[in-house]
C-alpha cells in the first residue's frame, strides 16, 4: 500500500465514518490506499462492491466472466434492466463509478484459474470470494494461502448464510472448515434451489464489514471462526474453526480442483447416489468438430445468451427423455459452471448413453479469448 493523505473532498465525502470513535482519518486513509479483489459480481458481490466503493476503498478489481440476466435482478441490485446481456464486470463498474468516481476500478471478465490466480491475488491486499461454485472457492482459498493473503469468504444456501475470514498467517482456512470438496451436484446452486435477494444483502454486507475491519485494523475480524446466519430465525451464531493438526500447507494450485480425485464444481462426476459411471469432462478447446452441444440450463438462464449451434434442453427434460440425444454421435452437455452437466452425464451414462460434460460450463465459454 502506498501512502495517502486525505484531501478536502475525502474529508467531506467520508465525514460520517471518519468521525466514528476508533475509526478516524487514519482508517479512512487506509481504505483509500487499499486494493481489494472481488471475485463475483452477483448476489454477494453486489452489496460487497457497493459498500466498499461507498466506504472509499481506493482500488477495486472485479473478476466475473458472466453476463447479466433478467433473473439476476431480484438480488444483484448493482445491475439494472438496461444491463441485461452486458458483462457483469462492466455493469458493476458503471454502477459503482456513478456512486464514487474517485476510485480506480479494474475489470477482469474471466474465470479464476490456476493459470491466473496467483497473479490476480498477488496484487490485492484482501481477496473477497463472492463466487458460486466450489472450484473457484477452493482455488481462491489456496492462492491466498500460498501468498499469505487474507480471504473474506461468504456463502448462501436456502435461507441461511455463512461468513468467515481465512488467513493462513493467523490460523484456519477454507480447507480447515471444509476439508473435502463436495461432490459435483451434491449441493444445489441458486438456479435450481432458488435464493432470496435480501439474504444476499445480509451476507454481502457482513462480508464488506469484515473487509473494512481487516483493511483498517478496527474491531475483531472473523479469524478462526465462521458466523452462521439464519434469516428465518433472525439469528447469528459464531462457531470456532481451528487449523487441522498436521494439515500440509497448500503449495500448489493444481490440487485445488482435485483433493480426492477430480471433485469440485466443474469436475467430472463420480459414482454416487445417481449410480452413474464417472463421466469424462472436456474443455471448450477439446471439443471435436461435429460434437452435438446441449445446453441444459433453465429457460431463464439462456435468455442472456448461449453457445452458437447448441441445442437447449433443460436438465430435467433431458433426464426424463434421454432418447433425445440418440443419433447425434458425440454429445457434450454444458450448464452454467459445470456442476449440473457433470451430474446429468453421470445419470445418462447409467442409462447407457455416452455423453461428456464441458468443464466450467458457459462461464468458461465466456472466458475464452474473443
Q: What is the tens place of the pLDDT at every residue in 154-171?
A: 999 889 999 999 999 999
Q: Which residues of 34-43 are buried (b: 16+ CB within 10 A; e: fewer)?
A: bbbbbbbbbb
Packing angle of the helix pair 88-99, 45-55 (nearest 10 deg): 30
Question: Does residue 251 register a pLDDT over 60?
Answer: yes
Structure-block grid coordinates of residue 279: 463421466
Q: How confident is the model at residue 261 (pLDDT cuts 50, 70, 90)?
A: very low
Distance CA 99, CA 42 (A): 18
Helices and strands per DSSP (H, E), number in the chain: 14, 13
pLDDT band at 36 (very low <50, low <70, confident <90, very high): very high
Share of the chain above pLDDT 90, in %: 76
The answer to whether 342 and 268 have CB atoms below 8 angstroms apart is yes
Q: 34-254 adopts what CATH topology?
A: Rossmann fold (3.40.50)
Q: Looking at the domain that runs over 266-367, which CATH code has it been given? A: 3.40.250.10
Structure confidence at residue 1 as a pLDDT band (50, 70, 90): very low
Return the higher-pLDDT residue of 52 and 370: 52
- Residue 220 reports pLDDT greater than 50: yes
Contact 167, 176 (CB under 8 A): no
Contact 37, 123 (CB under 8 A): yes
Contacts of 117 (CB under 8 A, 6+ apart): 139, 140, 142, 143, 253
The dihedral formed by the CA atoms of 87, 88, 90 and 95, expressed in degrees to the nearest 10? 140
> At 187, is the pLDDT very low, low, confident or very high (cuts 50, 70, 90)?
low
Tens-digit pLDDT profile for residues 269-296: 333 334 444 567 889 998 999 999 999 9
CA distance 158 to 67: 23
348 phi/psi in degrees, rounded to 5: -70, -35
C-alpha cell at position 65: 466472466
pLDDT in the model for residue 276: 43
pLDDT confidence of residue 266: 33
Q: Report pLDDT for 182.
A: 72
For residue 79, pLDDT beyond 80 = yes
Q: Indicate yes or no: pTM above 0.75.
A: yes
DSSP state of 223: B
Alpha-carbon Rg of the chain, whole angstroms? Answer: 21
Cell numbers given for 124: 490485492
Look at residue 269 in the predicted model and tell me its pLDDT.
Answer: 32
Pseudo-torsion of CA 173, 174, 175, 181, nearest 10°? -170
pLDDT bucket at 183, cuts 50 / 70 / 90: low
Question: Which residue do the cell numbers 448462501 mark?
Answer: 156
Q: Domain extents for the chain?
A: 34-254, 266-367
Give catalytic residue positions. 190, 335
DSSP classification of residue 67: B
Rounded Cα distance, 89 and 67, in Å: 8
| Angle between helix 197-216 and 45-55 (nearest 10) | 40
pLDDT at 41: 98
* DSSP-derived secondary structure letter, 289: T
Mean per-residue pLDDT, 244-248: 93
The answer to whether residue 262 scores a pLDDT higher than 50 is no
Per-residue confidence band for 5, with pLDDT thresholds at 50, 70 and 90: confident
Helices (H), the chain: 8-13, 15-18, 24-32, 45-55, 88-99, 117-122, 134-147, 174-177, 190-193, 197-216, 299-302, 315-320, 339-350, 361-367
Distances (CA, A) of 342 to 185, 186, 339, 345: 7, 11, 5, 5
Sign of CA dihedral 109, 112, 114, 118: positive
Amino acid at each position: 500500500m502506498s501512502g495517502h493523505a486525505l484531501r478536502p473532498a475525502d474529508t467531506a465525502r467520508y465525514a460520517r465514518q471518519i468521525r466514528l470513535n476508533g475509526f478516524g482519518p487514519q482508517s479512512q486513509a487506509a481504505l483509500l490506499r487499499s486494493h481489494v479483489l472481488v471475485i463475483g459480481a452477483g448476489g454477494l458481490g453486489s452489496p460487497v462492491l457497493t459498500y466498499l466503493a461507498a466506504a472509499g476503498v481506493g482500488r477495486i478489481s472485479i473478476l466475473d466472466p458472466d453476463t447479466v440476466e433478467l433473473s439476476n435482478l431480484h438480488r444483484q441490485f448493482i445491475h439494472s434492466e438496461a444491463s441485461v446481456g452486458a458483462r457483469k464486470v462492466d455493469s458493476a463498474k458503471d454502477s459503482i463509478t456513478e456512486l464514487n468516481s474517485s476510485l480506480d476500478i479494474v475489470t477482469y471478465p474471466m474465470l479464476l484459474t490456476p493459470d491466473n490466480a496467483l497473479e490476480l491475488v498477488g496484487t490485492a491486499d484482501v481477496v473477497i470470494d463472492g463466487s458460486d461454485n466450489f472450484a473457484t472457492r477452493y482455488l481462491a482459498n489456496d492462492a491466498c494461502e500460498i501468498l499469505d493473503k487474507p480471504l473474506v469468504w461468504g456463502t448462501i444456501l436456502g435461507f441461511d448464510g455463512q461468513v468467515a475470514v481465512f488467513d493462513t498467517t493467523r490460523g484456519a482456512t477454507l480447507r480447515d472448515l471444509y476439508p473435502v470438496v463436495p461432490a459435483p451436484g451434491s449441493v444445489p446452486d441458486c438456479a435450481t434451489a432458488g435464493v432470496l435477494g435480501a439474504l444476499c444483502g445480509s451476507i454481502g454486507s457482513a462480508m464488506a464489514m469484515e473487509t473494512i475491519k481487516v483493511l483498517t485494523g478496527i474491531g475483531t475480524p472473523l479469524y478462526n471462526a465462521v458466523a452462521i446466519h439464519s434469516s428465518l430465525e433472525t439469528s447469528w451464531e459464531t462457531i470456532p474453526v481451528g487449523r487441522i493438526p498436521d494439515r500440509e500447507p497448500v503449495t500448489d494450485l493444481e490440487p485445488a480442483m482435485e483433493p480426492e480425485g477430480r471433485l469440485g464444481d466443474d469436475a467430472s462426476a463420480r459414482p454416487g447416489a445417481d449410480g452413474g459411471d464417472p463421466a469424462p469432462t472436456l474443455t471448450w478447446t477439446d471439443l471435436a468438430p461435429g460434437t452435438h452441444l446441449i445446453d441444459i440450463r433453465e429457460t431463464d438462464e439462456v435468455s442472456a445468451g448461449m453457445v452458437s449451434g447448441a441445442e437447449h434442453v433443460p436438465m430435467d427434460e433431458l433426464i426424463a427423455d434421454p432418447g433425445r440425444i440418440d443419433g447425434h454421435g458425440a454429445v457434450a452437455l454444458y450448464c452454467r459452471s459445470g456442476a449440473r452437466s457433470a451430474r446429468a452425464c453421470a445419470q445418462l451414462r447409467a442409462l447407457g448413453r455416452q455423453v461428456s460434460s464441458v468443464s466450467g460450463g458457459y462461464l468458461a465459454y465466456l472466458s475464452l479469448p474473443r
